[in-house]
């Protein structure tokens, strides 16, 4: 099993505090999104969504297995199955994440490597094939 997205250990380079900042910036944008159908997917408890995400990023990027110790296997496809994820929704997610990376000052090659992983994963999670507008 691979815990790295490439040859770098992004967790060591970024640290847990930066990942917490990234997830906080991302979900601040997600919860401020004016699209009501988008907002309806997310639980009222933003703090738990933030924790789920940064614990997952931590382990996926080469750090301790925080997510799995608390919740078991990430099984991302299964955990997203109850949400209708169209290609447009994947782009909506990525749009918030691109801005969140900028918010917290993750730039250059590190941002590119993370975005490549996010783009791959977001499109892998698409479960409703609907034409993009
Ligand atoms: C493609 C568009 C996506 C949509 C619409 C979406 C939507 C959601 C929603 C509504 C939740 C529930 C929030 C919670 O209770 O934690 C969630 C959880 C989560 N998402 Fe996504 N997501 C997307 C892409 C991604 C990507 C690209 C990743 C990883 C790179 C990701 C990782 C996670 C994780 C780790 C959780 C927590 C799962 C859990 O513990 O239940 N998601 N997502």
**Residue 86 and residue 128 in contact, taking contact as beta carbons nearer than 8 Å:** yes
Take atom 33 of ligand 1 and give the residue whose Cα is closest.
Answer: 53
Which atom number of ligand 1 is nearest to the Cα of residue 83?
A: 10
Residue 112 has pLDDT above 60, yes or no: yes
Q: Which of 87, 125, 130 is the pocket-test mutation for ligand 1 (most atoms within 8 Å of CB)? A: 125
pLDDT confidence of residue 4: 63
Average pLDDT over residues 95-111: 97
Residue 42 has pLDDT above 80, yes or no: yes
Take atom 14 of ligand 1 and give the residue whose Cα is closest.
Answer: 49
pLDDT confidence of residue 5: 77
C-alpha–C-alpha distance, residues 70 and 55, integer Å: 9
C-alpha–C-alpha distance, residues 45 and 23, integer Å: 14
pLDDT confidence of residue 2: 44
What's the mean pLDDT when you consider all of the chain? 94
Tell me the CB-side half-sphere exposure of residue 97, using CA atoms within 13 A.
21
* 83 pocket-lining for ligand 1 (C-beta < 6 Å): yes
Domain boundaries, given as residue ranges, for the chain: 14-124
Average pLDDT over residues 109-129: 96
Q: What residues contact residue 76 under an 8 Å CB cut-off, 6+ apart? A: 121, 124, 125
* 43 pocket-lining for ligand 1 (C-beta < 6 Å): yes
DSSP letter string, 64-101: --HHHHHH----HHHHTTTS---HHHHHHHHHHHHHHH
* 89 pocket-lining for ligand 1 (C-beta < 6 Å): yes
CATH top class, domain 14-124: mainly alpha
- Cα(12) to ligand 1 centroid in Å equals 23
Question: Using one digit for the tens of pLDDT, what is the confidence trace for 60-80?
Answer: 999 999 999 999 999 999 999
Residue 133 has pLDDT above 70, yes or no: no
Average pLDDT over residues 76-103: 98
- Cα(1) to ligand 1 centroid in Å equals 21
pLDDT band, very low/low/confident/very high, at 1 (cuts 50, 70, 90): very low
């Amino acid at each position: 099993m691979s815990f790295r997205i490439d040859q770098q250990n992004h967790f060591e380079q970024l640290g847990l505090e930066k990942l917490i900042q990234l997830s906080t910036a991302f979900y601040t944008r997600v919860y401020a999104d004016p699209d009501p159908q988008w907002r309806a997917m997310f639980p009222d408890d933003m703090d738990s969504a933030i924790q789920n995400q940064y614990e997952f990023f931590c382990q996926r990027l080469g750090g301790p297995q925080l997510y799995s110790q608390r919740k078991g296997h990430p099984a991302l496809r299964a955990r997203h199955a109850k949400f209708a994820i169209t290609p447009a929704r994947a782009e909506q997610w990525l749009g918030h994440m691109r801005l969140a990376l900028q918010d917290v000052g993750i730039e250059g090659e590190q941002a590119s490597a993370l975005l490549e992983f996010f783009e791959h994963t977001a499109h892998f999670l698409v479960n409703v094939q609907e034409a993009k507008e």
